[in-house]
Structure 1
């Protein structure tokens, strides 16, 4: 049985939906903190069990009978994130899974400027030591984050952000399709995958231009000094830790950490990845 964690989240849900087009529902299980939110999957014949990375006993039950476990990374930072990912890895191994998969990030590395990439690197190290084959899906940067950062620009027509660098913005839908393909084709990748990215890397100058083309308005890109940007965030109630995390993203982009473009995602999909312009066009109305 293929187990997917976090199956009621934005990425996990789409992975399961796409996996169900490739394998019978009876071969799929989900591990979720609130089984009630996964009723739609249960109605299709998917095994739904409660699993919480902070409660090892629940994971033993949720992962029972697993042949593969896909651990969808949690929305946390630092040691907390790594500790919970390790708990899930240990539970997958204890359940007898013959492969553990994990949603990592392009540029995962211990020396990254971006805290999330350092956390992913630490989790990948735990995977290397877990004793069973693993696959680390090195996902491109979520295009949804670029759309989120456009929210303020749509109110003022000014995209005010720190200096950045090119980023391979990649859609959740494409990454979900790729994860489902890897799960259905067990053993297709051993260890970290190549970066799973869209076909181009874009700066926020490009993002502003795209937003203008989509909306018919002039969106001006304004570079804000890092200190001023951080101060503005904290003055508006953003926790200092998160403000620092966001600035780390821009520092990593400036260092070229997210500029790689790789054909692997297109190969898995069987078609060109979704361009950022299409994501912006679809999602901009929701920000």
Structure 2
């Protein structure tokens, strides 16, 4: 039995869909906070187990009969490290054989600008010391996140970002879900660490060039300075904390924190991951 947490989120949903192609639904369970929001999973035969990362007793119940757990990071940034520890503790108590955790690809923990990512490293440290067999899935920034940074109207507005010439080997979230499902469904032999990235790195100037080619409209990328960029976000009414987080993501890209290509995703998929062109064509629904 495999227990999926975060089962109704984007990555969790994608991973379950691919798992269902590899395993009977009777071998898949989903930890959900609200069963009514997971009716589609239940209809497919997935076993719903109701609970939250904050409820150790519910986690203990959810772990019954489970051999593998995939832990997708919680969204409560102030408490999620403790929440992740609760899941790891419940898995150990229940005799779970393997714990997977969705982490992030960043080169240097000591120099990263986005301190929100520190929670991932703290969780990794805890899992390594927990005593369970484990795999850390260090995912690169999703290609699906590009529209969030540059906007859905980028063909008209262009790009104004403080990312310099920094590059990212973007990958589609659904392909990551497919790769993770492959590891989950395998009988054994999982690696301790998977770096899930695309096969090539791209800058936002590359993103602009591809969008220009696909759309026939000139899309310009302007490498902004951080203070001016932050002011533009504040002028749009974004809270200071949100501005800091967005700026942190982009500063790490500028500083090369994400620019590390790994063959792991390609090997797990058995094919090349989607290119930047293929991904942007899909995300922006361009011909």
Tell me which residue corresponds to 1:91. Answer: 90
Tell me which residue corresponds to 2:192. Answer: 191
Aligned length: 284
Q: Provide, for residues 44-99 of structure 1, a one-character-per-residue CA deviation record: whole Å limited to 9, x for no partner.
A: 2210121211222222222221101100112343x422122112211222222111
Summarize the alignment of residues 110-129 of structure 1 with structure 2, pairs less than 5 Å apart.
Answer: 110-111=109-110, 112-129=112-129
Q: Is the 8 A contact 2:160 2:221 kept in 1?
A: yes
- Asked if 1:100 corresponds to 2:76, the answer is no
- SS of 2:284 mapped into structure 1: helix
In 2 relative to 1, CA 280–76 (structure 1 residues): closer, same or farther, beyond 3 Å? farther
Moved over 6 A (4+): none
- SS of 1:177 mapped into structure 2: helix
Shift of 1:152: 5.7
Tell me which residue corresponds to 1:81. Answer: 80
CA distance in 1, matches of 2:55, 2:179: 29
Tell me which residue corresponds to 1:16. Answer: 16
Tell me which residue corresponds to 2:175. Answer: 174
Shift of 1:113: 2.3
- SS of 2:177 mapped into structure 1: helix
- SS of 1:174 mapped into structure 2: helix
Question: Which runs of 5 or more residues in structure 2 are unaligned?
Answer: none
Q: Is the 8 A contact 1:101 1:137 kept in 2?
A: yes
Tell me which residue corresponds to 1:6. Answer: 6
Instruction: Say which is worse superposed, 83-92 or 257-266, in terms of deviation.
Output: 83-92
TM-score (norm 1): 0.93
- SS of 1:147 mapped into structure 2: helix
Q: Is the 8 A contact 1:110 1:122 kept in 2?
A: no
TM-score (norm 2): 0.93
In 2 relative to 1, CA 108–85 (structure 1 residues): closer, same or farther, beyond 3 Å? farther
Tell me which residue corresponds to 1:243. Answer: 243
CA distance in 2, matches of 1:213, 1:268: 30
CA distance in 2, matches of 1:132, 1:278: 38
CA distance in 1, matches of 2:211, 2:155: 12
CA distance in 2, matches of 1:186, 1:73: 24
Q: Is the 8 A contact 1:22 1:184 kept in 2?
A: yes
Summarize the alignment of residues 4-83 of structure 1 with structure 2, pairs less than 5 Å apart.
Answer: 4-77=4-77, 79-83=78-82
CA distance in 2, matches of 1:58, 1:216: 54
Tell me which residue corresponds to 2:216. Answer: 216
Q: Provide, for residues 144-202 of structure 1, a one-character-per-residue CA deviation record: whole Å limited to 9, x for no partner.
A: 11122231652633201113300111101110011001111144334222x21111111
